Every structure is written in C-alpha cells, then in structure tokens.
Amino acid sequence: MKDTPGSIIDNDAASANYRQIFEESPAPMYIFDIHTFEFLAVNTAALNQYGYSRDEFFSMNATQIRPQEDIDPLKQTLKDVHTATYFDYGRWKHIRKNGEVIFVHIYAHSTIFQGKKARFVLAIDIDNKVKAEKALLEKNEQLKKISWTQSHELRGPLSSIMGLVQIFNKEDTADQHNKEIIALITDAAEKLDAVVKKITNQACQ
C-alpha cells in the first residue's frame, strides 16, 4: 500500500492519530472512488463547507457537488492521469446543499482506500478571492470607461476654450466682439464643468 494520505487513514496499524488529523483538520477534505465517484471518507470541515450531514454526504457521489457542465471535465481529469500521484487541479466550481455555487481550489492525491482506487481531495474555498478579483476587474473596466470619457468628452470644450483664448482681444475689454467671446468661453466652461461632475459621479459609484 502506498504511503499516501488516503492509505494512511485506511491503515489500521497507523493508529487513530492520522484519522483524527484528517477529521479535525480545518481544511475541507474528502476521498472518492475514481470509478464510481462515491464518497468514501469526508471530514467535518468539508461537511461544513458544503452544508451536508455525514449521512447525506455518503449518499451522494463526487459529481453531485459540481455543476453539470463540470462533470465531463472531472471524468477527463481522471482519465488523463498516468504515473503522477499528486495533482494541482486549480480552480473549480462546486455546489453547496443550498444551491450556492462556490469556487474552490482543488489539490488531490492518488491512493488506495478500502481496497479501491481513490482520490484524496483537498478543496480550499477561494470564493471570496474570486469575487474580489471580479470586483477589481469590474473597477478597472469602470476606470477605462472614465478614461475614455475624459479623452473624448473633455476634448471638445477644452478645444473651444483654447481657440477662443487665441482670438480674444486683451487690449480692449469693452469691444463687443470680446463680449461675445467671453459668452462663448463661459458656455464652454459650463459644459466642461458638467463633464467633470459626470466623471466624478462615475468614479464614486
């Protein structure tokens, strides 16, 4: 029998210490048969993560905590393995009893458990991390939108102001033509102010 986490738990000669480590670990862990997908062992942390009682968990199989679209990829990962015993499967979606979909990072180990070829799985909840990444991406998209607004909406009023400044007759402030220019500058400035307020509101949302 290979000296893997699963086989240690299944070895009566290894004493109850390893079983206790498995059961009391704060990391959610379970073992399933790679042929039938039935659960063979589960610790308390995994039960708490998925929301099932121990009896409920053992009445299920490993496909039932995954969305339908992930079942075939799961089966394929088991077919693709050859000589490796340790696997970092990365990010997967799992489903809690209440139907909530969460993201988990899966680490696994090949083992023999109860005389069956099995997979020892560590399923780390990374849902908050994934949501934070999503929020950051959304914020970046918002900043890109604001940047686009700045480069396009500000350009018009600024160009108008700069053009009017060039033709303004600073020597004769009583000139009627100057009054018209001042009115146009005021109008352009008001439009610019409105755009700035719009950008500020978007940035604060």
In a shared domain, residues 169 and 104: no
Asked if residues 125 and 104 have their Cβ atoms less than 8 Å apart, the reply is yes
Coil, helix or strand at residue 136: helix
CA atoms within 13 A on the CB side of 20: 4
In a shared domain, residues 92 and 168: no
The identity of residue 5, as a single letter, is: P
Coil, helix or strand at residue 51: coil
Instruction: State how far the Cα of 92 lies from the Cα of 74, in Å rounded to an integer.
Output: 10
CATH number of the domain where residue 103 is located: 3.30.450.20
Q: pTM higher than 0.85 for the full model?
A: no
Domain C-terminal end among 94, 125, 156: 125
Where on the phi/psi map is residue 33: left (φ > 0), alpha (ψ -120 to 50), or beta? beta
Taking residue 161's Cβ as centre, other Cβ atoms within 10 Å add up to: 18
Instruction: State how far the Cα of 111 lies from the Cα of 133, in Å rounded to an integer.
Output: 34
In a shared domain, residues 52 and 121: yes
Query: Residue 139 has what pLDDT?
Result: 76
CATH number of the domain where residue 189 is located: 1.10.287
Number of domain units in the chain? 2
Query: Residue 19 has what pLDDT?
Result: 83
Residue 195's nearest CA partner among 163, 142, 166, 203 is 203
Domain that holds residue 61: 5-125
In a shared domain, residues 83 and 141: no
DSSP per residue, 159-179? HHHHHHHHH--TT-TT-HHHH
36-64 burial: b if 16+ Cβ within 10 Å, else e:
ebebbbbbebbbebbebeeeebeebebee
In a shared domain, residues 121 and 135: no
User: How many angstroms separate the Cα of 115 from the Cα of each of 5, 10, 49, 112?
Assistant: 14, 9, 27, 6
Residue 6's nearest CA partner among 90, 125, 117 is 117
Asked if residues 54 and 127 have their Cβ atoms less than 8 Å apart, the reply is no
Coil, helix or strand at residue 83: coil
In a shared domain, residues 108 and 168: no
In a shared domain, residues 119 and 140: no
Asked if residues 195 and 149 have their Cβ atoms less than 8 Å apart, the reply is yes
List per-residue pLDDT tens for the chain, 205 residues long: 334 444 445 555 555 777 888 998 999 999 999 999 999 999 999 999 999 999 999 999 999 999 999 999 998 888 766 556 788 999 999 999 999 999 999 999 998 998 999 999 999 999 888 888 878 887 777 777 766 666 666 666 666 766 666 666 555 656 677 777 777 777 777 777 677 677 666 656 6
Query: Residue 186 has what pLDDT?
Result: 73
In a shared domain, residues 138 and 118: no
Coil, helix or strand at residue 92: strand
